[in-house]
Amino acid sequence: MSRIIKGFSKLTREEKIKKLQETYELPDDFPDRLARYRHSGQQDLFDDFSENTLSNYFLPFGVAPNFLIDDKMYVVPMVVEESSVVAAASRAASFWAANGGFKTKIIDSLKKGHIWFKWNGPKISFDTFPKTLENKLTEAVSSITANMEKRGGGIRGMKILPLEEMQTIFQLEVYFETVDSMGANFINSCLEGMKAPLQEFFRTQEDFKQYGDIEIVMAILSNYTTECIVTAQVECPVSALKPFAPELSPEFFAHRFKTAMDIAWMDTSRAVTHNKGIFNGTDAVIIATGNDFRAAEAAGHAWAAKDGQYRSLSKCEISEKGIFKMELTIPLALGTVGGLTRLHPLAGLAIEMLGNPSATELMSIAASAGLANNFSAVASLVTTGIQKGHMKLHLINLLNSQGASAIEKEAAANYFKTRNVSARAVEEFLENFRKQRNEQ
């Protein structure tokens, strides 16, 4: 049986490393490799972001310029490890900047949380939400909401809903406006503060107390932010699409593009990969600005399945007048203050690069980045294929994995200009190149 390490969190970093080496089969240079990526000046800050921190994990911090969003030009910071994502976003951004840019609409910016509880009363009791209960719960957390209200936020409503699939289970759903804050801690604090007065209301209300006390199961925010929605769209004459289909007519390209989009709407297997391409762009912006990409993805995927079938988050139309239009609608609960958005040095820089946007403005930027990547990906799929461009950009990674020198990288770049890139092809090229140099 493997040894269990007890009290690990209480050890110093050096003690943690030593204990890990004693317990697991780790490489001899484990401490040295961790030390290479420690920050010389701000490591204490990074250590506090999470638990049991041994080092830092670097990801590329790139930029995609020329994003024209709602008539304002941005250089968009993107943190992503996948080849071609930033290049694809940049190409699409430049194209659409010359064709009117991205237009966005914030449908709403509310977030929500729930108190789940058990109760033996009838489900019809809350067809009309008791105003006295809303006032009681709002007053109970007034000390928590005071500062948020000064910034224009606060509680925006509440209701009680039965969980139809589970007898005796109800949810108190509370809606919040958190302005420029992500608001997770604020929402959870409010919900915790409402638990006791919610129980007291059921215990003392004349119409309810006959059914007994309620049992609080849990109180937590919901990442399914169906009231925090943004739409981004682009449009241009079909004839303007020629740069993306040099060997096809613009009309043929546009209709093939729409067919691919329709497939993603109808077929779940394609929709999942289609939406992953959207999140290539949105996630890169969300991570760069210190927001929670996991919450955004969870909400987005749930939204994609809201009608009972998982579908694409974006759609395409071609009008009778020959206007190509593409639109993305997605839930994005983001913030520009609080959390790591300012605390992480590069997240703070990313926010500054974007002109210190509001939370809703950041929603528009992230959605536009997702739409840009989506457009580029589908355009590649229906013309040259996704692998041609992706593998060209992946070439440097393959060369690095083979320990290629600067001379070998330059030679490989020239060699693969007219050839397909693959791991085996790169390996064979290096073998032949090195053999020829040794024979000289």
pLDDT tens for 225-266 read: 999 999 999 999 999 999 998 888 999 999 999 999 999 999
Phi/psi zone of residue 380: left (φ > 0), alpha (ψ -120 to 50 degrees), beta? Answer: alpha
Residue 98 pLDDT > 70: yes
- Report pLDDT digits (tens) over 260-271: 999 999 999 999
Token pair of 246 as six digits: 């040099």
Phi/psi zone of residue 152: left (φ > 0), alpha (ψ -120 to 50 degrees), beta? Answer: left
| pLDDT value for 146 | 97
* Alpha-carbon distance values, 421 to 52, 84, 85, 245, 247 (Å): 40, 14, 18, 22, 22
| pLDDT value for 128 | 76
Closest listed residue to residue 171, CA positions, set 124, 225, 117, 132: 117
pLDDT band at 1 (very low <50, low <70, confident <90, very high): very low
Whole-number average pLDDT of the chain: 93
Residue 416 pLDDT > 90: no
Strand order in the sheet with 169-177: 154-162, 169-177, 111-118, 215-222
| pLDDT value for 417 | 76
| pLDDT value for 42 | 94
Q: Which is higher by pLDDT, 146 or 397? A: 146
| pLDDT value for 3 | 80
pTM here is: 0.87
Percent of the chain with pLDDT over 90: 78
Residue 62 pLDDT > 70: yes
Closest listed residue to residue 106, CA positions, set 377, 404, 360: 360
| pLDDT value for 321 | 96
- Report pLDDT digits (tens) over 10-61: 999 999 999 999 999 999 999 999 999 999 999 999 999 999 999 999 999 9
Residue 367 pLDDT > 80: yes
**H or E segment and range at residue 116:** strand 111-118
Question: Contact 130/198 with Cβ under 8 angstroms?
Answer: no
- Report pLDDT digits (tens) over 376-411: 999 999 997 655 555 566 777 788 888 888 888 888
Residue 144 pLDDT > 90: yes
Distance CA 258, CA 114 (A): 40
- Report pLDDT digits (tens) over 273-305: 999 999 999 999 999 999 999 999 999 999 999
Angle at the Cα of 401 from the Cα atoms of 395 and 405, rounded to 5 degrees: 80
Residue 154 pLDDT > 70: yes
| pLDDT value for 439 | 75
For residues 158-172, give the mean pLDDT: 93
Token pair of 282 as six digits: 């949105």
Angle at the Cα of 228 from the Cα atoms of 269 and 374, rounded to 5 degrees: 40
Q: HSE-up of 316 (CA within 13 Å, CB side)?
A: 25
Q: Which is higher by pLDDT, 417 or 322? A: 322
- Report pLDDT digits (tens) over 120-139: 988 877 777 788 899 999 99
- Strands 111-118 and 215-222, by their bridges, are antiparallel
DSSP symbol at 3:
P
For residues 82-95, give the mean pLDDT: 95
Q: Where do the H-state alpha helices sit in 12-80?
A: 13-23, 30-35, 43-47
Q: Which is higher by pLDDT, 389 or 66? A: 66
| 28 Cβ contact partners less than 8 Å away, ≥ 6 residues apart | none
| 347 Cβ contact partners less than 8 Å away, ≥ 6 residues apart | 288, 289, 290, 340, 341
| pLDDT value for 2 | 62
